[in-house]
């Protein structure tokens, strides 16, 4: 679990729900605004009190309280309710400018005004709370679903090789007599493949959590791009691939000042992705050119390409194409994106007209044409 | 006393010790083991081994510390074992006197090759003016390099670089070390020179300079001249 934790925490799975606008206004401001609103409406009513009957004014004030109830928390709303009741009594119920109420009828009206205003406030508050709970539940359901996707993908990718290793070693230990030399050889072969796969997944997870922690700092050194590309190719070829890799780097490409280890990992992941998802007979092209102090690396394959709708999403963490065949965590390409961006570059993906995917990495970097320093 | 080379493994992980013990003993080495830095230092002091495999992540002391203490008096090869593939860490260990490094998980073949080459450097290095490696021949006395018996023209800097790497056959030399030794201390940050000259030397000595067989890149760390046994 040690490895997963930083990753999961970074997925923003645990952020609290902040869907309500009232949370964005501080409580003090809410008090001020509700008092101001009530006062504003009261002044307006007072100016026109010769034209509007005071009972109608009660309704106008009630509407005002309802508005505050929609916008604000319960306490500012209660304040608005009480304040508006007092204002109505003092300024509008005859006799004016006294809290005295002239008739029994008016007394009941005032009482009812007060009760309605309060009920209004409390009801709105309750409705809002129910809404909030519902939203939280929904949010939590989403979180749980995302968690499950992550864990499914991770546990599948980690447990498959582990299961292979356990199964094969059990066989070798307890079933040894019945196994032919060929069987034994095959089992050992499977263990070997499984460990390579397991190691690759762990490497991906570690890189991802390094990226997530923000701990990653590119170490810029003068780098020979064709050397970096050939190293990545060598590493991929050690996995025993069948596709044809074609490298095209102009020998006069300058040296670039960048983190060669990161660049190699980027190229390796792109190649690995191409190798995993293209037929064994197809060809993979790697090109590198200098574009006005921007290093451009292009990896093209002859696979099926990506559905247009998913082109943008493939760099997302743990994203896997629908119907993707097993064999990836959906981390490889997000590491490509993370590393490229850590180096100040951008990555893009398009489908080739002739079919297949085309990944383009562009990294701005200092260049040096110090080559041809002959006879020193 | 047998004449098997004695290798001391300093690693706190029982599984790794067991694995290394089996691997090394079946390849005719005599194996000693220590689970802590303290124990390792003591064993080295009492019976200095021919080589030490030192894990950097020990429970009682940091590997770098142990390495520095050992290098105070112990001159035989030390190979670092590390789970961190952080280049900084490896460069630090190499600068502190480690002869080589292996990042866990490593291949057994790789381990044995590194052990063989470190032990060989230790025994043959002195006074051997003629370094032969497959089709490549370097005559240190005459400063002449031959490929398939044909003399290869190298500039002075190219020769110095190749000779330095070849004299340390099997050992990773860091970028800094190479720059300092070949160009001088003023060139420590001029890694572009190193890149250019490595490319030039490869063009002259390698069959396919893009897939080098003699000078191998250790990404982010340095270069290694390997023997084609």
Average pLDDT of chain B, as a whole number = 89
- DSSP label of A227: H
Same domain, A177 and A51: yes
Structural domains of chain B in order of their starting residue, each with its CATH number: 6-124 (3.40.50.2300), 130-225 (1.10.10.10)
**Shortest CA distance from A257: residue in chain B:** B192
Reply yes or no: is the peptide bond before residue B156 cis, omega within 30 of 0: no
Same domain, A30 and A98: yes
Q: Is position A375 within any domain?
A: no
A284's tokens: 């993979």
Same domain, A287 and A331: yes
Residues in chain B: 229
Enclosing domain of residue A284:
221-368
Could B196 and A264 be called an inter-chain contact, meaning their C-beta atoms sit closer than 8 Å? no
Residue B3 pLDDT: 80
Residue A3 pLDDT: 40
> In the block, which residue shows the tokens 């008096």?
B73
* Strand duo B130-133 + B136-139: pairing: antiparallel
| Distance of alpha carbon B82 from alpha carbon A289, whole angstroms | 36
Same domain, A193 and A240: no
Residue B115 pLDDT: 92
In the 3-class helix/strand/coil scheme, how is chain B assigned residue by residue? CCCCCEEEEECCCHHHHHHHHHHHHHCCCEEEEECCHHHHHHHHHHCCCCEEEEECECCCCEHHHHHHHHHCCCCCCEEEEECCCCHHHHHHHHHCCCCEEEECCCCHHHHHHHHHHHHHHHHHCCCCCEEEECCEEEECCCCEEEECCEEECCCHHHHHHHHHHHHCCCCEEEHHHHHHHHCCHHHCCCHHHHHHHHHHHHHHHCCCCCCCCCEEEECCCEEEECCCC
Cα torsion through A212, A213, A214, A220, rounded to 10:
-90
Cα torsion through B114, B117, B119, B123, rounded to 10:
-170
Same domain, A207 and A227: no
Same domain, A114 and A239: no
List, edge to edge, every strand of the sheet that includes B51-55.
Answer: B30-34, B6-10, B51-55, B78-82, B100-103
| Distance of alpha carbon A283 from alpha carbon A293, whole angstroms | 29
Determine what percent of chain B is predicted with pLDDT higher than 90: 62
A197, A215, A233 - which closes a domain: A215
| Distance of alpha carbon A304 from alpha carbon A352, whole angstroms | 10
**3-class state of residue A95 by DSSP:** coil
Same domain, A171 and A281: no
Residue B95, phi then psi, degrees to nearest 5: -65, -30
Q: Is position A86 within any domain?
A: yes
Cα B156 vs. chain centroid, distance in angstroms?
25
Task: For chains A and B, count residue pairs whose Cβ atoms are closer than 8 Å.
Answer: 53
Q: Is position A154 within any domain?
A: yes
Contacts of B82 (CB under 8 A, 6+ apart): B55, B56, B57, B63, B89, B90, B93, B101, B102, B103, B104
Residue A101 pLDDT: 83
Domain holding A301: CATH number?
3.30.565.10
- Rg of chain A over Cα atoms, rounded to whole angstroms, equals 34
Q: Which has more confidence, B127 or B41?
A: B41
Determine what percent of chain B is predicted with pLDDT higher than 70: 95
Residue A166 pLDDT: 92
As for the ipTM of the complex, it is 0.80
* Strand duo B150-152 + B144-147: pairing: antiparallel
- DSSP label of A13: T
Work out whether the CA dihedral B158, B159, B160, B164 comes out positive or negative: positive
Residue A16 pLDDT: 38
Q: Is position A374 within any domain?
A: no
- DSSP label of A259: -
- Which of B162, B176, B195 best tests the A interface by mutation, with the highest count of A CBs <10 A? B195
**Shortest CA distance from A374: residue in chain B:** B155
Residues A222/A255, Cβ–Cβ less than 8 Å = yes
Contacts of A53 (CB under 8 A, 6+ apart): none
Of the candidates A231, A212, A153, the one whose C-alpha atom is nearest the C-alpha of residue A334 is A212
Task: Tell me the sheet residues that pair with B146.
Answer: B137, B151
**Shortest CA distance from B191: residue in chain A:** A222
Q: Which residues from chain A sit within 8 angstroms of residue B154, using beta carbons?
A: none
Residue B105 pLDDT: 86
- Residue A222, judged by CB atoms within 10 A of its CB (0-12, 13-18, 19+), counts as buried
For residue A334, give the H/E element and its range: helix A332-342
Q: Which residues from chain B sit within 8 angstroms of residue A267, using beta carbons?
A: none
Across B136-152, average pLDDT: 91
- pTM (predicted TM-score): 0.70
* Strand duo A255-258 + B136-139: pairing: unpaired
Please enumerate residues of A whose Cβ is less than 8 A from a Cβ of B: 195, 199, 219, 221-224, 226-228, 230-231, 234, 247, 255, 259-261, 264, 368, 370-371, 373-376
pLDDT along chain A (376 residues), means of 10: 40 39 73 91 88 87 87 86 89 85 85 86 85 89 75 78 91 86 91 86 83 82 92 87 90 91 93 89 93 94 84 75 60 88 92 90 91 50
Residues in chain A: 376
Same domain, A161 and A249: no
CA-CA distances (angstroms) from residue B79 to A60, A275, B19, B113?
Answer: 86, 35, 16, 12
Residue of B155, B193, B210 lying closest to A374 (CB–CB): B155
Same domain, A169 and A23: yes
Q: Is position A373 within any domain?
A: no
B30's tokens: 């005599």
Residue B31 pLDDT: 96
List, edge to edge, every strand of the sheet that includes A221-223.
Answer: A221-223, A255-258, A367-368
Residue A19 pLDDT: 38
Residue B85 pLDDT: 66
DSSP string, A176-225: GGG--HHHHHHHHHHHHHHHHHHHHHHHHHHHHHHHHTT------EEE-H
Q: Which residues from chain B sit within 8 angstroms of residue A195, using beta carbons?
A: 105
> In the block, which residue shows the tokens 């250019």?
B196
- Which of A255, A288, A372 best tests the B interface by mutation, with the highest count of B CBs <10 A? A255
Same domain, A202 and A288: no
Same domain, A22 and A169: yes
Same domain, A100 and A242: no
Flag whether pLDDT at B44 surpasses 90: yes
Q: How many domains does chain A have?
A: 2
Split at pLDDT 50, 70, 90, the class of B10 is: very high
Q: Is position A297 within any domain?
A: yes
A314's tokens: 């493939």
DSSP string, A127-169: HHHHHHHHHHHHHHHHHHHHHHHHHHHHHHHHHHHHHHHHHHH
Could B191 and A222 be called an inter-chain contact, meaning their C-beta atoms sit closer than 8 Å? yes
Work out whether the CA dihedral A22, A25, A31, A35 comes out positive or negative: negative
């Amino acid at each position: 679990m040690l490895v997963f934790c930083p990753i999961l925490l970074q997925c923003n799975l645990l952020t609290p729900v902040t869907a309500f606008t009232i949370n964005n206004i501080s409580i003090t401001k809410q008090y001020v605004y509700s008092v101001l609103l009530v006062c504003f409406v009261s002044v307006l009513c007072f100016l026109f009190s010769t034209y509007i009957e005071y009972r109608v004014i009660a309704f106008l004030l009630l509407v005002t309280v309802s508005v505050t109830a929609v916008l604000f928390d319960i306490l500012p709303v209660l304040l608005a309710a009480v304040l508006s009741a007092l204002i109505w009594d003092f300024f509008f119920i005859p006799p004016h400018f006294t809290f005295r109420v002239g008739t029994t009828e008016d007394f009941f009206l005032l009482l009812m005004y007060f009760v309605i205003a309060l009920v209004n406030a409390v009801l709105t508050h309750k409705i809002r709370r129910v809404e909030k709970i519902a939203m939280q539940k929904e949010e939590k359901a989403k979180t749980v679903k995302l968690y499950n996707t992550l864990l499914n993908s991770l546990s599948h990718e980690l447990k498959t090789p582990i299961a292979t290793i356990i199964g094969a070693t059990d066989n070798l230990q307890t079933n040894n007599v019945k196994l032919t030399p060929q069987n034994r050889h095959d089992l050992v072969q499977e263990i070997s493949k499984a460990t390579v796969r397991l190691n690759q997944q762990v490497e991906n997870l570690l890189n991802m959590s390094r990226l997530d922690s923000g701990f990653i700092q590119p170490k810029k050194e003068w780098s020979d791009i064709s050397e970096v590309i050939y190293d990545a190719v060598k590493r991929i070829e050690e996995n025993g691939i069948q596709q044809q890799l074609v490298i095209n780097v102009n020998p006069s490409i300058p040296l670039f000042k960048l983190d060669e280890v990161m660049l190699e990992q980027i190229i390796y992941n792109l190649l690995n992705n191409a190798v995993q998802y293209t037929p064994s007979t197809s060809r993979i092209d790697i090109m590198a050119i200098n574009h006005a102090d921007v290093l451009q690396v292009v990896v093209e394959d002859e696979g099926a390409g990506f559905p247009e709708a998913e082109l943008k999403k493939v760099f997302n963490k743990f994203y896997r194409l629908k119907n993707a065949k097993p064999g990836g965590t959906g981390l490889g390409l997000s590491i490509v994106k993370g590393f490229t961006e850590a180096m100040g570059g951008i990555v893009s993906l398009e489908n080739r007209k002739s079919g297949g995917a085309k990944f383009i990495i562009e990294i701005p970097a200092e260049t040096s044409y110090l080559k041809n320093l002959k006879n020193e | 006393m047998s004449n098997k080379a004695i290798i001391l493994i300093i690693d706190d992980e029982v599984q790794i010790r067991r694995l290394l013990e089996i691997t090394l003993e079946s390849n005719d080495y005599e194996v000693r083991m220590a689970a802590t830095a303290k124990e390792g230092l003591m064993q080295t002091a009492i019976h200095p081994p021919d080589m030490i495999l030192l894990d950097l992540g020990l429970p009682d002391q940091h590997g770098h510390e142990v390495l520095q203490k050992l290098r105070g008096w112990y001159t035989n090869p030390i190979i670092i074992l590390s789970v961190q593939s952080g280049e900084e860490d490896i460069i630090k260990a190499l600068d502190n006197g480690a002869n080589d490094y292996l990042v866990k998980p490593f291949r057994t073949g790789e381990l044995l090759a590194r052990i063989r080459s470190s032990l060989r450097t230790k025994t043959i290095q002195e006074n051997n003016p003629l370094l032969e490696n497959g089709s490549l021949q370097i005559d240190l006395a005459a400063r002449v390099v031959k490929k398939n018996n044909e003399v290869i023209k190298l500039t002075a800097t190219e020769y110095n670089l190749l000779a330095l790497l070849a004299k340390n056959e099997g050992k990773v030399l860091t970028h800094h070390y190479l720059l300092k030794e070949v160009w001088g201390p003023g060139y420590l940050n001029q890694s572009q020179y190193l890149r250019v000259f490595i490319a030039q030397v490869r063009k002259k000595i390698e069959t396919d300079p893009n897939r080098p067989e003699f000078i191998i890149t250790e990404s982010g760390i340095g270069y290694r001249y390997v023997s084609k046994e």
